[in-house]
Amino acid sequence: MTPPNENLAAVPVLRHRPDPSDSVIWEPSERWVRGTKGDVTVVDSRRPLLVWEPGRPVPLYAFPREDVRTDLMRETEKPATRRHAGATVFYDLEVAGETIPRAAWTYPGEELAGHISFEWFGREVLDHWYEEEEEIFVHPRDPYKRVDALPSTRHVQVEIEGTVVADTRKPVLLFETHLPIRYYIPREDVRLDLFTPTDLTTRCPYKGVATEYWSWAGGGDVRPGVAWSYPEPLAAASAIKDRVAFYNEAVDIIVDGERLERPVTVFSAPAASRPEPPGESAR
């Protein structure tokens, strides 16, 4: 019998957890990642690192310096406020006649030396990011987060201000780590005549682009854009295509006769007034 722990030294450590626990956490990724600005490929890497900064729920990428167009970057002064876990050097990006201030930075310490990260949250420095051949939005996908869209036969009803606005026995339940279940309902089972279309668009790294939003037209204190749909979701969430979901935080949902308690999340406040959490997916 092999003694316990005898061969542990041969087991690769995939996730690096430094001490203290409020330090940067990182691990290697095997995804081919590219970032473009206009027609220029600024980043092209098959060996990026996923980096979790203290207080951020989702990761960023850090790329080997040789996989970055450093000829387009100019060292600049640090921002007045503390950003990016003690980043030592910041860079402006100069591409296509445009200068993007503090677009990138390096982290302190030997373990991440020689790697460069780019801004994603709050402002999209590059126009497009790709993992393999699929475009990604908002932030890199977290390998420790799941999104499962499962067809169901549960009886789901949605009420707003006492009015039943949706009633179905053919929902798709979307389970997303750290968020409440979202109930995606066939359009024919939703009273869209009670809503007004909006021009809101949001993006999610796991589901794609939600280009259809509706606001409740019946009055009362109901957040705008309370319902949404993904006309062309990403392949992993294809089951929600063209279906309509509602903020559980702002409507009453009854599942198999049980009225659910409204969850309290970052989406509980109206979109116009809530702070945007860094990297939180759109839905």
DSSP 182-195: EEEB-GGGB-GGGE
275 in a domain, yes or no? no
Residues in the chain, pLDDT under 70: 1-22, 82, 121-123, 269-283
Q: How many CB atoms lie within 10 A of CB 71?
A: 7
- The answer to whether residues 40 and 102 belong to one domain is yes
- With residues binned 3-state (H G I as helix, E B as strand, rest as coil), the percentages for the chain, rounded to 5, are 5, 40, 55
**Residue 193 forms part of a structural domain:** yes
What single-letter amino acid sits at 273?
S
18 occurs within a structural domain: yes
Q: What is the CATH number of the domain that holds 158?
A: 2.170.150.40
Domain stops at, among 102, 136, 170: 136
Taking residue 18's Cβ as centre, other Cβ atoms within 10 Å add up to 12
Pairwise CA distance, residues 185 & 90, whole Å:
46
Residue 71 shares a structural domain with residue 169:
no
253: tokens are 């949902």
Q: Which of 77, 105, 136 is the last residue of a domain?
A: 136
130 with 151, same domain: the answer is no
Nearest-angstrom CA–CA distance, 198 and 202: 12
Q: Looking at the domain assignment, is residue 38 inside a domain?
A: yes
Residue type, 222: V
> Looking at the structure, do residues 162 and 48 belong to the same domain, yes or no?
no
- 20 prior amide bond cis, ω within 30: yes
pLDDT at position 83, please?
Answer: 73
- Is residue 162 domain-resident? yes
Q: Based on the domain organization, do 41 and 65 belong to the same domain?
A: yes
| Coil, strand or helix at 151 | strand
Position 51 scores a pLDDT of 93
Q: Are 93 and 162 members of one domain?
A: no
Q: Which of 141, 152, 151 is nearest to 234 (CA)?
A: 141
Query: Which amino acid, residue 123?
Result: R
Single residue among 136, 164, 191 that ends a domain in this structure: 136
Burial class (CB within 10 angstroms; exposed 0-12, middle 13-18, buried 19+) of 132: exposed
CA distance 63 to 54: 19
Alpha carbon distance 234, 278 (integer Å): 22
Is residue 280 in some structural domain? no
- Alpha carbon 259 to its chain centroid, in Å, reads 29
> Residue 271's Cα: distance from chain center in Å?
16
Tell whether 192 and 243 lie within a shared domain.
Answer: yes
Check if the beta carbon of residue 192 is closer than 8 Å to that of residue 186.
Answer: no
What is the span of the domain harbouring residue 234?
147-259
Let me know whether 15 and 128 are in one domain: yes
DSSP string spanning 17-79? --SSTTS-EEEE----EEEEETTEEEEEESS-EEEE-TT-SS-EEEEEGGGB-GGGEEEEPPP
Instruction: Say how many domains are in the chain.
Output: 2
User: Are 26 and 118 members of one domain?
Assistant: yes
pLDDT at residue number 12: 47
Q: Is residue 273 part of a domain?
A: no
* Predicted confidence (pLDDT) per residue in 93-107, tens digit: 999 889 999 999 999
Q: Do 179 and 112 fall into the same domain?
A: no
Q: Are residues 49 and 105 in the same domain?
A: yes
**89 shares a domain with 37:** yes
* Any domain includes 110: yes
